[in-house]
Amino acid sequence: MADQAKEVPEEVTRLREALAAFAAMDDDAACTAAVSEVLRQWPDLGSELRQLRELRVNALRNQHNKTWPEIAEIIGDVTPERAQQISKGLSGAQRKKNKRAAEEQPGN
């Protein structure tokens, strides 16, 4: 089964097609402006995607009774521990921040 290519969801394909549409724009100025606008909005878009993933991970866990290993497999390329962190809204940056704070605690 590891040999089989993973099916790409239609929404991912559409996102890639939208990116290709920017590259296909003939007008360099229009392309630059359009890409720049997307990049300005990207932090919010990334945040929305992370929130949606967190919501759906929690639905998998609470409504569909999936285990953390099952959820990690659905996400792909993450450990069950990381899947659990995603369910709590912990990003890589937040995990590093929490780790630094714990290391700075007196007695550590």
pLDDT at position 99 is 75
Percent of the chain whose pLDDT exceeds 70:
93
pLDDT tens-digit profile of 1-43? 444 567 899 999 999 999 999 999 999 999 999 999 999 999 9
pTM above 0.85, yes or no: no
CA-based torsion, 102, 53, 7, 12: positive or negative? negative
List C-alpha distances in Å: 85 to 4, 34, 48, 54: 28, 34, 17, 9
